[in-house]
Amino acid sequence: MTLLRIVLGLVVILAIGTAAFIGYAWHSRLDPIDPPAKASLDAKLLARGAELAAIGNCNVCHTAPNGEAFAGGLGIPTPFGTIYSTNITPDPETGIGRWSEEAFSRAMRKGVDREGRHLYPAFPYDHFTLVSDEDNRALYAFLMTRKSVSAKSPANQLPFPFNVRMLLAGWKALFFREGPYLPEPGRPAEWNRGRYLAEGLGHCGACHTPRNRLGAEISDQHFAGAEIENWTAYAIDSGSPAPLPWDAESLAFYLRHGWHDRHGVSRGPMAPVTANLGAASEADVKAIAAYVAEVMGRPSKERLAQGEAALAAARQEREAAPLRRTGETGNGAGEAIFVSACQGCHDGRRPPPFGGLNLHLSTAVNAPNAQNIINVTLYGLPAARGEPSAMMPAYRGVLNENQLVALLDYMRERFSRQPAWTDTRERVSSTLRGERKVPVYRMDGTTHAPPETSMRTAPWP
Amino acid sequence: MAVTLTVNGRTQQVEADPETPLLYVLRDHLELNGAKYGCGIGQCGSCTVMVDGEAVLSCVTPVLLLEGRRVTTVEGLGTLEKPGPMQQAFIEEQAAQCGYCIPGMMMRAQALLQADPSANEAAIRAHLEPNLCRCGTHMRIIKAVMRAGEIMRQNPQSGGAS
């Protein structure tokens, strides 16, 4: 009798819990609308929306390789399965043409689609929730005036239980804090603007903050660096591996132009980010740079001295005769490859973006692993289409595993004060075998306007 | 110093500094003048040859990397009397104006078709992107590569380069 009571009690508690969860997880369906007439939207609002969409990097995930801009269909690999980006053009059937502004704002703020279904956080609403109503209005106007494209995205490939969207309510309860952004009083307006953009629409942390096993950003490792798409997103906090410390000015230049003569060029998944930021408002990019520079913190005297030493070493090499083999590192094979294949461009006589960076100044050589140099060496930096850009030839067909490992060890020893990498051979070997799939990005937009189509030359696996 | 190189099926010793770019060794030492010097920094593709079946820019490839590897140049695709499928297709389509970029185009295309003789036009365009042509012969070049693919598919034995 007692047992029965306990069981009954548990059932009741479970039922109440389930009902409460459903109540928490349930969102209403918002009524469909007829797509708004383009002429009904204010031109100034549209222009603002274009700048904001550039900061949001919307086109990068919502455009498939060789696909139409914003028409979705890009497969995004996650540890849980592949999620396909959606069509956010105003097509009424396959896009968001039937979404009201309210539905759009709700998706940004709460991560729920017009039908009331929870969205996967591959759509970074954990950041977008901070976006203000005013900016959402501008983004909505911008997207609703894009070319309407009829394109249905493939169905997500997620095994049970990840295909149950209701469970995302649980994820949200654990990790999601709803916005909008509240300015921190006592801070300068530019800092608040920069933080609002970097943490919100810009979603820098989506790549630069490591994630936990459930795919949520680890809040106490904010901007500590992570690996994404088999590219390393460097730490952009006090642990930044850049030999020459960044400041607000150099960051702003880099973010707007995609290169900096003392830091190198943006490449991999960062290439489209800087290409987009070239179309954002200058004041907004400056604010982002000011905020990120503040997160990086003022460099210590020691770091500043290291930066000066790196600059001096680069200057000396630029002015000296080309390196010959000296054998001083004890890695004769690596040195011979560097001297004969790399230094012709990387001696720094011609600075980035059209010449190679002197590697004393290279963040990649100082990074915690060799992956970014492996990627760039094997796949190169494919030139932009129809405009001048940085570029580097690919060495995939030439360098074998031993040669590349010797070269990387030499570069690390010669150009960095950091200890030798420990996992270089495994990374080289798995990349050469194609087990580490590396999406390659063209250098479009590193000097001029951003492209309307995807810069990926290879689709995600 | 002597380096050992296997070019178009022949293994030979060459008196050259191991740091010398492959292109110079091909042209100056082996008198294989098919591969062309264009930019010298791996940006134009006119020096393209194949190494173990992969397209490689010979102007930025020091010969010290090539021990035990098989190098193929445009001369290795066939002869004047008996042109290979790629050469035959370029002749039939008259896919050259000044011709300077053509050996590089042929070698990069050969690497693609050897791996996949049924490569379609989109794949060919994407694959040939690193190779530049200043005359604007691209449409004929693409046609020629498509035709080379047809010839290779009809006669699977014909496509392999030495």
pLDDT for A1 equals 61
CATH 3.10.20.30-classified regions of chain B: 2-73
Portion of chain A with pLDDT greater than 70, in percent: 96
Nearest CA in chain B to A325: B19
In this complex, do B51 and A397 lie within 8 Å of one another by their Cβ atoms?
Answer: yes
Instruction: Assign A458 a pLDDT band (cuts: 50, 70, 90).
Output: low
> Is A457 part of the contact surface with chain B (CB cutoff 8 Å)?
yes
Structure tokens that stand for A176 in this block: 């999601």
B interface with A, Cβ–Cβ below 8 Å: 18-21, 41-43, 50-52, 54-57, 60-62, 64-66, 111, 122, 126, 129-130
**Per-10-residue mean pLDDT, chain B, length 162:** 91 93 97 97 96 96 94 97 97 97 98 96 93 95 98 82 54
pLDDT for A445 equals 74
pLDDT for A421 equals 98
pLDDT for A348 equals 84
For residue A394, which residues of chain B lie inside 8 Å, CB to CB?
130
Is pLDDT at A326 greater than 90 in this prediction? Answer: no
Which 3 state secondary structure label does DSSP give B12?
strand
Distances, alpha carbon A431 to alpha carbons A257, A348, B12, in Å? 29, 28, 32
Q: Are B34 and B73 in contact (CB under 8 A)?
A: yes
How far A453 CA lies from chain B's nearest CA (Å)?
15
> Is A322 part of the contact surface with chain B (CB cutoff 8 Å)?
no
Residue B44: what residue type? C
For residue A392, which residues of chain B lie inside 8 Å, CB to CB?
42
Nearest CA in chain B to A324: B19
CATH 1.10.150.120-classified regions of chain B: 77-154
For residue A398, which residues of chain B lie inside 8 Å, CB to CB?
51, 54, 56, 61, 65-66
Instruction: Respond yes or no on whether ipTM tops 0.90.
Output: yes
In this complex, do B62 and A337 lie within 8 Å of one another by their Cβ atoms?
Answer: yes
Is the model more confident about A389 or about B113? B113
pLDDT for A349 equals 87
How far B153 CA lies from chain A's nearest CA (Å)?
25
How far A273 CA lies from chain B's nearest CA (Å)?
23
* Residue from A398, A399, A405 whose CB has the most chain B CBs within 10 Å, to mutate: A398
How far B81 CA lies from chain A's nearest CA (Å)?
31
For residue B56, which residues of chain A lie inside 8 Å, CB to CB?
397-398
> Is A33 part of the contact surface with chain B (CB cutoff 8 Å)?
no
In this complex, do A340 and B62 lie within 8 Å of one another by their Cβ atoms?
Answer: yes
Chain segment A134-188, per-residue pLDDT in tens: 999 999 999 999 999 999 999 999 999 999 999 999 999 999 999 999 999 999 9
Chain segment A48-70, per-residue pLDDT in tens: 999 999 999 999 999 998 889 99
Q: Are A232 and A372 in contact (CB under 8 A)?
A: yes
In this complex, do B64 and A397 lie within 8 Å of one another by their Cβ atoms?
Answer: no
Nearest CA in chain B to A401: B65
How far B132 CA lies from chain A's nearest CA (Å)?
11
How far B100 CA lies from chain A's nearest CA (Å)?
20
* Residue from A338, A340, A381, A396 whose CB has the most chain B CBs within 10 Å, to mutate: A340
In this complex, do A336 and B64 lie within 8 Å of one another by their Cβ atoms?
Answer: yes
Is pLDDT at A338 greater than 70 in this prediction? Answer: yes
Cα(B160)–Cα(A213) distance, integer angstroms: 49
pLDDT for A449 equals 63
The total of other beta-carbon atoms located within 10 Å of residue A413's CB is 19
Nearest CA in chain A to B69: A398
List the single residue in B65, B111, B122 with the smallest CB-CB distance to A398. Answer: B65
Chain segment A67-94, per-residue pLDDT in tens: 899 999 999 999 999 999 999 999 999 9
Q: Are A275 and A444 in contact (CB under 8 A)?
A: yes
What's the CATH fold of domain B2-73?
Answer: Ubiquitin-like (UB roll) (3.10.20)
For residue A345, which residues of chain B lie inside 8 Å, CB to CB?
41
> Is A323 part of the contact surface with chain B (CB cutoff 8 Å)?
no
> Is A163 part of the contact surface with chain B (CB cutoff 8 Å)?
no
How far B13 CA lies from chain A's nearest CA (Å)?
20
How confident is the model over A392-418, as a mean pLDDT?
95
Which 3 state secondary structure label does DSSP give B83?
coil
Mention the CATH class of domain B77-154. mainly alpha
Portion of chain A with pLDDT greater than 90, in percent: 80
For residue B122, which residues of chain A lie inside 8 Å, CB to CB?
66
Radius of gyration of chain B measured on its C-alpha atoms = 15
pLDDT for A461 equals 41
Q: Which of residues 186-225 of A touch B (CB under 8 A)?
A: none
Q: How many Cα atoms sit within 13 Å of A314 on the Cβ side? A: 25
How confident is the model over A251-271, as a mean pLDDT?
95
How far B96 CA lies from chain A's nearest CA (Å)?
22
- Which of A9-23, A199-213, B75-89 is least confident? A9-23
For residue B18, which residues of chain A lie inside 8 Å, CB to CB?
336, 340
How far A397 CA lies from chain B's nearest CA (Å)?
5
In this complex, do A393 and B122 lie within 8 Å of one another by their Cβ atoms?
Answer: no
In this complex, do B122 and A66 lie within 8 Å of one another by their Cβ atoms?
Answer: yes
Q: How many helices and strands in chain B, by DSSP H and E?
A: 5, 5
3-state secondary structure chain A: CHHHHHHHHHHHHHHHHHHHHHHHHCCCCCCCCCCCCHHHCCHHHHHHHHHHHHHHCHHHHCECCCCCCCCECCEEEECCEEEECCCCCCCCCCCCCCCCHHHHHHHHHHCECCCCCECCCCCCHHHHCCCCHHHHHHHHHHHCCCCCCCCCCCCCECCCCCCCHHHHHHHHHHHCCCCCCCCCCCCCHHHHHHHHHHHCCCCCHHHHCCECCCCCECHHHCCCCEEECCEEECCCCCCCCCCCCCCHHHHHHHHHHCEECCCEECCCCHHHHHHHHCCCCHHHHHHHHHHHHHHHCCCCHHHHHHHHHHHHHHHHHHHCCCCCCCCCCCCHHHHHHHHHHHHHHHCCCCCCCCCCCCHHHCHHHHCCCCHHHHHHHHHCECCCCCCCCCCECCCCCCCCHHHHHHHHHHHHHHHCCCCCCCCHHHHHHHHHCCCCCCCCECCCCCCCCCCCCCCECCCCC
Nearest CA in chain B to A65: B126
Measured over the CA atoms of residue A319, residue A320, residue A324 and residue A330, the dihedral's sign is negative
The whole-chain average pLDDT of chain A stands at 93
